[in-house]
Amino acid sequence: MDVNKLEKRNLLKAFNLITSKGNKSDGAYEFSDIKASHDFDGYTCWLAYKDLTVTMLFHGPYRFDYKDKETVDIFFKKISKLLDDKDNE
């Protein structure tokens, strides 16, 4: 999946929002049904929603693993809403 620069920045903002406002359980933070986690040194980060997992590497590559395209669409809508709500606080 091709993710443009704006979407990548939004994913990083969402990751930071989820890890700062989410509830931590089993090594992952969860906020608004989206989970955020990272490896021990923060080099690799993940966002997960239903059957979708986004892998974000420190140097920029992003990988999307999913079964249903509709999940990706819903995920990006949820991310947009999270960021819009945060901007309106």
- Provide the token pair at 65: 């693993």
**What's the rounded Cα separation, in Å, for the pair 69 and 89?**
31
Report pLDDT digits (tens) over 46-67: 999 999 999 998 877 889 999 9
The DSSP code for 41 is: T
- Provide the token pair at 39: 């490896």
Judge whether 15 lies within some domain. Answer: yes
Instruction: State which H helix or E strand residue 23 sits in.
Output: strand 23-25
The number of distinct structural domains making up the chain is: 1
Judge whether 11 lies within some domain. Answer: yes
Angle at which helices 69-87 and 5-21 cross, to 10°: 70
- Residue 8 β-bridge partners: none
Q: Which pLDDT tens digits describe the chain residue by residue (89 residues)?
A: 556 666 778 899 999 999 999 999 999 999 999 999 999 887 899 999 999 999 998 877 889 999 999 999 999 999 999 998 876 56
Judge whether 57 lies within some domain. Answer: yes
Full residue range of the structural domain in which residue 11 is found: 5-22+31-78
Judge whether 85 lies within some domain. Answer: no
CATH number (domain holding residue 17): 3.30.310
Judge whether 46 lies within some domain. Answer: yes
